[in-house]
């Protein structure tokens, strides 16, 4: 392939990575806005460097004209989860999408690599719209827990340092670390429900406070400063108590107060309008 062609060939892959990161981030926000537990902790992506592509072509004896067909991970998305159980849920969310076509699954969690590597890979087709028209490309989506990602990142760095020939003493320690990662994920799963409840409670509290503050700000435009200060003092008292149930009740009560002030203001505005006529 001519050197001048590389960036032209890789441009759609950059587009695909950017679009998919945005879509998965939007999905994560949708879960949060609806007060639901989100199986996606965070999302990253990258397009393989030219040097990495050349290395893979040489290693697997792939001719330039077969590069896009035979290298499945030129575009890569990594989705990090908190718990092992979340991985299957994320995979189901992906396969249910109409804009992503599943090509292949590589389950390195059930079928752990000899090195200790564990991750769930999905090779998919994703279509981007370029200036030359639509183009369907291969994308590899990796789904793993935070613990799996920590191990894999460390192992990748060592593979790079030792040029794929990790010394036995280092490999043995990596293997022990992989066993520890399995134990850690198992322990985290055992307290998954408690962690999810705590996170949802924290998110609920955050949303309630945001709504209450916005409502109090709107009341400044509809009633006296003294009245609003009394409402504000009550909010601070409840917030400092840390009682979420009382905060929920106050949120509902404040909504009723705000509705009453809005109705009163509308009647006044309507009266002014009639008198002007």
Closest among 91, 167, 174, 124 to 17, alpha carbons compared: 124
In this prediction the pTM is: 0.74
Which residue, 168, 203, 233, sits at the end of a domain?
A: 168
Of residues 71 and 217, more confidence is placed in 71
Residue 187 lies in a domain: no
Which residue, 153, 168, 183, sits at the end of a domain?
A: 168
7 lies in the same domain as 95: yes
Half-sphere exposure (CA, 13 Å, Cβ side) for 248?
A: 7
213 lies in the same domain as 154: no
Kindly state the tokens that stand for 13: 């892959």
Q: Which of 58-67, 108-117, 137-146, 214-223 has the lowest mean pLDDT?
A: 214-223
122-141 mean pLDDT = 96
Q: What is the pLDDT of residue 273?
A: 55
Q: Which of 104-108, 110-114, 147-151, 254-258 has the lowest mean pLDDT?
A: 254-258
Residues 91, 120 contacting (CB under 8 angstroms): yes
Which residue, 149, 168, 187, sits at the end of a domain?
A: 168
Of residues 171 and 137, more confidence is placed in 137
Q: What is the pLDDT of residue 271?
A: 58
In the DSSP assignment, the letter for residue 108 is T
Residue with tokens 């299957």: 88
Q: Which domain holds residue 247?
A: 195-276
| Number of domains within the chain | 2
Model confidence at 114: pLDDT above 80 = yes
Assign residue 68 the CATH number of its domain.
Answer: 3.30.460.10
209 lies in the same domain as 148: no
pLDDT band at 207 (very low <50, low <70, confident <90, very high): confident
Q: What is the pLDDT of residue 37?
A: 85
Residues 82, 195 contacting (CB under 8 angstroms): yes
Q: How far is CA 3 from CA 8, 49, 63, 211, 257, in A?
A: 10, 14, 15, 55, 68
**Active-site residue, 140 included:** yes
Residue 78 lies in a domain: yes
112 lies in the same domain as 162: yes
Of residues 255 and 221, more confidence is placed in 255
Which one of 33, 41, 140, 194 is the catalytic residue? Answer: 140
Residue 146 lies in a domain: yes
Residue with tokens 């007060």: 35
Q: What is the pLDDT of residue 109?
A: 95
The SS3 of residue 110 is coil
pLDDT one-digit tens code per residue, 72-92:
999 999 999 999 999 999 999
209 lies in the same domain as 262: yes
Polymer length in residues for the chain? 277
pLDDT one-digit tens code per residue, 209-219:
888 999 888 88
Of residues 253 and 32, more confidence is placed in 253
Closest among 192, 203, 95 to 145, alpha carbons compared: 192
The DSSP code sequence of 112-179 is --TT----EEEEEEEEEEETTEEEEEEEEEEEEEHHHHHHHHHHHHHHHHTTT---HHHHHHHHHHHH
147 lies in the same domain as 207: no
158 lies in the same domain as 201: no
Which residues, 6 or more positions from 6, have their beta carbon under 8 angstroms from its beta carbon? 50
144 lies in the same domain as 22: yes
Closest among 82, 69, 164 to 123, alpha carbons compared: 69
pLDDT band at 35 (very low <50, low <70, confident <90, very high): confident
Closest among 277, 268, 9, 12 to 136, alpha carbons compared: 12
Strand (E) or helix (H) holding 101: strand 100-107
23 lies in the same domain as 154: yes
137 lies in the same domain as 222: no
Distance of CA 53 to the CA centre of its chain: 27
142 lies in the same domain as 254: no
Residue 182 lies in a domain: no
pLDDT band at 247 (very low <50, low <70, confident <90, very high): confident
pLDDT band at 1 (very low <50, low <70, confident <90, very high): low
Q: What is the pLDDT of residue 276?
A: 55
Residue 245 lies in a domain: yes
pLDDT band at 48 (very low <50, low <70, confident <90, very high): very high
20 lies in the same domain as 103: yes
Model confidence at 267: pLDDT above 80 = no
């Amino acid at each position: 392939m001519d050197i001048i062609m590389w960036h032209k060939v890789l441009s759609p892959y950059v587009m695909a990575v950017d679009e998919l990161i945005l879509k998965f981030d939007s999905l994560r926000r949708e879960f949060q806005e609806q007060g639901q537990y989100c199986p996606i902790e965070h999302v990253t992506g990258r397009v393989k460097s030219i040097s990495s592509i050349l290395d893979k072509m040489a290693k697997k004896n792939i001719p330039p004209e077969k590069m896009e067909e035979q290298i499945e991970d030129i575009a890569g998305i990594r989705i990090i989860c908190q718990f092992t159980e979340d991985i299957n849920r994320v995979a189901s969310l992906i396969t249910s999408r109409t804009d992503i076509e599943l090509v292949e699954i590589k389950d390195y969690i059930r079928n752990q690599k000899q090195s200790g590597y564990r991750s769930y890979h999905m090779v998919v087709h994703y279509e981007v719209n370029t200036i030359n028209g639509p183009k369907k490309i291969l994308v590899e989506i990796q789904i793993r827990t935070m613990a799996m990602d920590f191990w894999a990142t460390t192992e990748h760095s060592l593979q790079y340092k030792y040029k794929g020939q990790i010394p036995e003493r280092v490999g043995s320690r990596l293997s022990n670390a992989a066993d520890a990662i399995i134990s850690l994920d198992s322990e985290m799963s055992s307290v998954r429900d408690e962690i999810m409840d705590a996170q949802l409670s924290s998110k609920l509290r955050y949303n309630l406070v945001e709504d209450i503050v916005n409502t109090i700000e709107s009341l400044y435009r509809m009633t006296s400063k003294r009245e609003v200060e009394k409402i504000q003092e009550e909010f601070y008292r409840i917030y400092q108590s840390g009682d979420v149930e009382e905060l929920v009740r106050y949120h509902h009560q404040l909504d009723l107060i705000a509705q009453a002030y809005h109705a009163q203001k509308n009647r006044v505005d309507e009266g002014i309008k009639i008198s002007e006529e």
